[in-house]
Amino acid sequence: MNLRAALFASIAFVGLAAPAQAIDLEFYFPVAVGGKPAETVQALTDAYMAANPDVKINAIYTGSYADTTTKAITAARGGNPPQLVISLSTDMYKFIDEELVESFDRFVTDAEKAEWIGGFYPSFMLNSQYEGETWGIPFQRSTPVLYWNKAAFADAGLDPEKGPANWTEMVEMGKKLTKKDASGNVSQWGVQIPSSGFPSWLWSGIVAGNGGKLQNDTGTEVFFNSPEAIGALEALVALSETDGVQAPGILDWGATPKAFFEGQAAMIWTTTGNLTNVRANAPFEFGVGMLPGLKQPGAPTGGGNFYLMKGSSDEELKAAVDFVKWATAPEQAAEWTIATGYVAPRPDVWESDKMKAYTADFPQALVARDQLEYAVAELSTFEGPRVTQLLNSALESAITLQKSPKEALDAAQAEAEAILAAYH
């Protein structure tokens, strides 16, 4: 009896004297591009855990951006939210409206606020700040770029080193690049601007290039049927209808890089996040250029931010913010950019030795960064998913010639105004 009591007592002592529990963090991340971003995220997380043994991060792959947002909100409503989520920068209003996120300002000192948060490119912070507070930290941000097939250019008698500088040039080059075989079927299209799923993203780049603006700065008003917006949609529809340089109908986003590799399309518009994928798989030399605008260069920003979810202890959130700071530091951000092609979101990352060596070898990576000067905020409003979806439907109806561009956008504007009326 005495021995047993002594045994239990000693075990109890050992238990009490055990070191503090490691902090367990959960981190949801999506993958929206080809290549191996999931492995890179895992590698980064492992590296952080190796350097910080008292923090355990469980990086969970949660599908596409939409799936990730869905899962994060579901988990939060179920009372078991993750600490960190990478989600679309445009989901900021949704998360704020549902009261699911914490602002980063609470966990940073004033000096850090100026140096860390202030050190991101302003174009990326446009969709990350609201009412003076920072709700998202840019991580896998992108702009779309134009990729062109240098071999196809040479074949068509064009200078393979020069991509189109503006929309008119793109159409002209497209006409030379569109090849028809004996029976009149097209074997190579000049250009492919994908329109499946979320045509509004690339279209907002055309609008920016036409000098238009789609929303106000507080997420409460949209301008879908401005003359610039209608002009942008008319130009897009004209590519297949009158110019004959693009395949008709809705073109699949995911199949566009493959179409490029197969020689189906000589120029494609897609995210810079596909850069590493294209570099690895294109069987020809390719060039990367800024989006050719109708009147001026213009592009949307896109991609995902880190969000800090409510519902965890301050200690856990502090550890999460620490991880975010580390992941966006030059060394790690450079690694992430090189592995995927996403744009490093801070100027100091581009100055690091790693990035300098990479871009010396592969100057195409600089295009997306240089385009930031002309980049506009991505479409983001309250009731964002619903408003964006009705815009997508309107664009699809115009691209498939069910409605004229003006009709489609007028209807979309009316619907969006009805939804946003509640937020004025």
Residues near other proteins, by CB under 8 A: 66, 70, 73-74, 94, 97-100, 183-186, 195-197, 247-252, 254-255, 258-259, 262, 264, 383, 385-386, 389, 393-394, 396-397, 399-400, 402
Smaller CB distance to other proteins: residue 294 or 391? 391
Whole-angstrom distance, CA of residue 378 vs CA of residue 210 = 15
* Segment holding 209, helix H or strand E: helix 199-209
Q: Is residue 421 exposed (0-12), middle (13-18) or buried (19+ Cβ within 10 Å)?
A: exposed
For 312, the 3-state DSSP assignment is coil
Minimum Å distance from CB 96 to other proteins? Answer: 8
Minimum Å distance from CB 71 to other proteins? Answer: 9
In 255-405, DSSP assigns E strands to 265-271, 286-289, 299-300, 302-309, 375-376
Contacts of 119 (CB under 8 A, 6+ apart): 346, 347, 348
Whole-angstrom distance, CA of residue 329 vs CA of residue 111 = 16
Minimum Å distance from CB 240 to other proteins? Answer: 10
Whole-angstrom distance, CA of residue 7 vs CA of residue 4 = 5
Smaller CB distance to other proteins: residue 90 or 371? 90
Minimum Å distance from CB 360 to other proteins? Answer: 35
Whole-angstrom distance, CA of residue 387 vs CA of residue 77 = 23
CA nearest neighbour of 277 among 88, 142, 409: 142
CA nearest neighbour of 135 among 336, 263, 309: 309
Smaller CB distance to other proteins: residue 295 or 310? 310
Minimum Å distance from CB 406 to other proteins? Answer: 16
The C-alpha torsion from 238 through 271 and 124 to 377, rounded to 10°, is 20
Minimum Å distance from CB 399 to other proteins? Answer: 7
Smaller CB distance to other proteins: residue 393 or 404? 393
Smaller CB distance to other proteins: residue 66 or 154? 66
Buried b (16+ CB within 10 A) or exposed e, 165-185: ebbeebbebbebbbeeeeeee
Minimum Å distance from CB 192 to other proteins? Answer: 10
Minimum Å distance from CB 20 to other proteins? Answer: 34
Smaller CB distance to other proteins: residue 166 or 264? 264
**304 near 171, Cβ under 8 Å?**
no
Smaller CB distance to other proteins: residue 74 or 218? 74
Smaller CB distance to other proteins: residue 93 or 358? 93
Smaller CB distance to other proteins: residue 119 or 197? 197
Residue positions counted in the chain? 424
Minimum Å distance from CB 292 to other proteins? Answer: 23
**326 near 240, Cβ under 8 Å?**
no
**CA–CA–CA angle 138, 316, 302 (5° rounding):** 15
CA nearest neighbour of 29 among 42, 20, 16: 42
Minimum Å distance from CB 217 to other proteins? Answer: 21
Which ranges of 221-346 would DSSP assign to H, the alpha helix?
A: 227-241, 256-261, 275-281, 314-327, 330-340
Smaller CB distance to other proteins: residue 101 or 232? 101
